[in-house]
Structure 1
Amino acid sequence: MRKWLIEHRGKRSQETIAKKAGISRGAYANIELGKRNPSVQVAKRIANELDFSWTIFFDDNVVETTRKSHTA
């Protein structure tokens, strides 16, 4: 699960962010859950909307931390 992404979304709905990113709410939900990785283009649109660097989606340290928290 990408808790950092959920925190960035705050009180805005998944539907709102998904529409801004040009994807379905289900696809966005799967990105938040870590079941799906966004394409670079989608990552840029989400990051632009939520005001963070799109590269965080592909940062090994963030991914590794997420994996460790799933196994803990």
Structure 2
Amino acid sequence: MDKQAIAERLVRLRGKKSRETVAKACGISTLALAMYEQGERIPRDDIKIRLSKYYKKSVDFIFFN
């Protein structure tokens, strides 16, 4: 997994939505989302699923391409 590629993909998917909006919808903290988007951490599998459902993209597309 390339943390930087995942981070860039997450930022691109979020678009103009605020981190707070996405984090709240996914049940995670804004700080956690920021860390994922900055390539500092990779989310746990359950968070990957929540993010993929929110963005309507597959887990593979977001985290493994």
Q: TM-score category by the smaller chain?
A: 0.7 to 0.9
Query: Which structure is higher in RCO with an 8 Å CA cutoff and minimum separation 6?
Result: 2
Q: Across the two proteins, how many residue pairs are aligned to each other?
A: 59
Partner Cα distance (2:59, 2:17) in 1: 18
Matches within 5 A, 1:5-44: 5-44=10-49
The Cα offsets for residues 25-60 of structure 1, whole Å up to 9 and x where unpaired, read as 000000111101111111111111112111332x2x
Return the TM-score normalized by structure 2: 0.80
Structure 2's unaligned 5+ residue stretches are none
Contact 1:20 1:46 survives alignment (8 Å):
no
Structure 1's unaligned 5+ residue stretches are 63-72
Partner Cα distance (1:37, 1:3) in 2: 12
Please tell me the root mean square deviation across aligned C-alpha atoms, in Å. 1.2
